[in-house]
Amino acid sequence: MSSEEQSCYSLEASKSGTSELNAMSCMYIGADRGLKDILLNKYGGYLCDLRKEFTKKRKKAKLPKDSRTTLLDWWKTHSRWPYPTEEEKMKLIEETGLDHKQITNWFINQRKRHWKPSEDPHFHRLLSS
């Protein structure tokens, strides 16, 4: 009997009238422990690999510097309304070598992080008409 089982059994045996039932419970705890040991021996390596994989910091993916420069140049010249048309996106795809999704995501992120829409009411009237 393991020390865990013994301590469990001695604790439960001290209670009146239920020592047999509690001894059975302790046997199940011991059996569960044995099963856990078997599973850890068999799959422990996989678990260790998974733990390492999940705790690894992902490297932040960055676009190539020349592509970022091209996109930022476009951004600066269109800062009042940084929504490229599909034709402009196609031109940027050719210039940067990025794909459509990368261009679109870059503009979404750039607007979300750095763009402050104009507070000028005249500007808003121009957009709504």
Domain formed by 65-114, architecture? Orthogonal Bundle (1.10)
Instruction: Map residue 23 onto helix, strand or coil.
Output: helix
SS3 category, 111:
helix
Tokens, residue 47 = 């678990």
Cα–Cα distance measured from residue 42 to residue 116, given in angstroms and rounded to the nearest whole number:
56
Q: List pLDDT tens digits, range 2-42.
A: 554 444 544 444 444 555 656 666 666 777 888 888 888 88
Q: Give pTM, 2 decimals.
A: 0.50
Q: What is the C-alpha separation between 119 and 124, in angstroms, rounded?
A: 8
* Structural domain boundaries in the chain: 18-56, 65-114
With contact defined as beta carbons under 8 Å apart, do 41 and 15 qualify?
no
